[in-house]
Amino acid sequence: MKKFLVIGNPIEHSLSPKLHNYWIEKNNLKAFYEKRKLNEEDIKNIIQEIRNNNITGINVTVPFKKLIIPFVDELTDEAKQVQSVNTIYKKEDKIIGENTDARGFQEAIKMTNYTIKGKKIFILGAGGVASSLIYSLINMGATNISLSNRTIEKTKYLKEMFPSIKIIQWGKETDFDMILNATSLGLENETIQMNYQKHKSKFFYDIIYNPPKTNFLKGGEKFKNKIENGKLMFIFQAQLAFKIWHGINPKIDKEVLDLI
Ligand code: ATR
């Protein structure tokens, strides 16, 4: 029986076990997937469990996506470029750190039929997933990316990684076609303070999918903007991890969409 884990802190609300176990069952695999709350000092031991073949694969979530990097043996190209790891496995005795958030986001954007190429994007939040978003947006041809975070220090390493991005003071607005909320504010039902009525026919995207419609998305929708939550991004990053671990591309159908 192969064992898989998602590690993070907090971890209670993670839907990864539900999704992965659903696909495991659908594909008749002998495996199970659990969540585990960790502290930073436990990272070393958990990696050792992969080395010892007690665990086959790990998904990594907040706040360990960057912290875990020194503990793996090798990063895939994408994980190296975004300096963020959300999927871990062993390959030929080496522990590999992979990133599927960036491609997950890209796949999710494709599904919305929105063209990023040539667009001005404003990102709110510089947490664990921000580098994956910026990387994908640059890949998709965004011409102008601005970033704002309450704690300005956290934007600095992102500016070093992606020198073309513009840093905006928290609470200030800048011109955009698409605004991307990558903060965790929506989880607590809090609102991004902004001038919602000023915007029309723009694209409001929230990486949060629970609640499905954050106050930020409600604000965008009220003034006739296109909106989208992070559900598809979550499902696609999981699909990519599943493919890496099991060699099977699991289906994303209505049943899966209703599950999350
Ligand atoms: P981490 O920052 O540990 O990687 P995260 O969940 O990936 O955690 O990111 C949380 C994001 O939401 C951060 O951008 C955070 O801003 P800070 O860097 O200033 O902490 C943002 N965030 C959380 N609560 C917020 C609040 N009340 N107001 C503004 N931004 C908030």
Q: For 233-258, what is the HEC assignment?
A: HHHHHHHHHHHHHHCCCCCCCHHHHH
Ordered by start, the domain boundaries in the chain are 2-99+233-259, 102-229
Q: Assess whether pLDDT exceeds 90 at residue 187.
A: no
Residue 13 pLDDT exceeds 90: no
How many degrees, rounded to 5, is the angle at CA 69 between CA 140 and CA 232? 40
3 state SS of 146: strand
Cβ–ligand 1 distance for 125 under 6 Å, the answer yes
Q: What is the mean pLDDT of the chain?
A: 97
Q: Which residues fall within 8 angstroms of residue 258, CB to CB, at 6 or more apart?
A: none
Check: CB of residue 138 under 8 Å from CB of residue 162. Answer: yes
Does the beta carbon of 252 sit less than 6 angstroms from any atom of ligand 1? no
Q: What percent of the chain has pLDDT over 90?
A: 97
Q: Which atom of ligand 1 is nearest to the CA of 126?
A: 14
- 65, 90, 119, 231: the catalytic one is 65
Q: Distance from CA of residue 259 to its chain's centroid?
A: 19
Least confident stretch, 10-14, 151-155, 215-219, 224-228: 10-14
pTM: 0.95
Select from 3.30.365.10, 3.90.470.20, 3.40.50.10860, 3.40.50.300 the CATH code of 2-99+233-259.
3.40.50.10860
- Are 130 and 147 in contact by the 8 Å Cβ rule? The answer is yes
Residue 138, CA distances (Å) to 44, 130, 142 in order: 33, 12, 5
Which atom of ligand 1 sits closest to the CA of residue 154? 18
Q: Please, what's the largest Cα pairwise distance for the chain?
A: 56
Same topology between domain 2-99+233-259 and domain 102-229: yes
pLDDT for residue 188 is more than 90: no
Nearest Cα neighbor of 22 from 191, 229, 252 is: 252
Average pLDDT over residues 158-166: 97
CATH code matching the domain that covers 102-229, chosen among 2.60.120.10, 2.60.120.260, 3.40.50.720, 3.40.50.2300 = 3.40.50.720
Kind plus residue range of the DSSP H or E element containing 8: strand 2-8
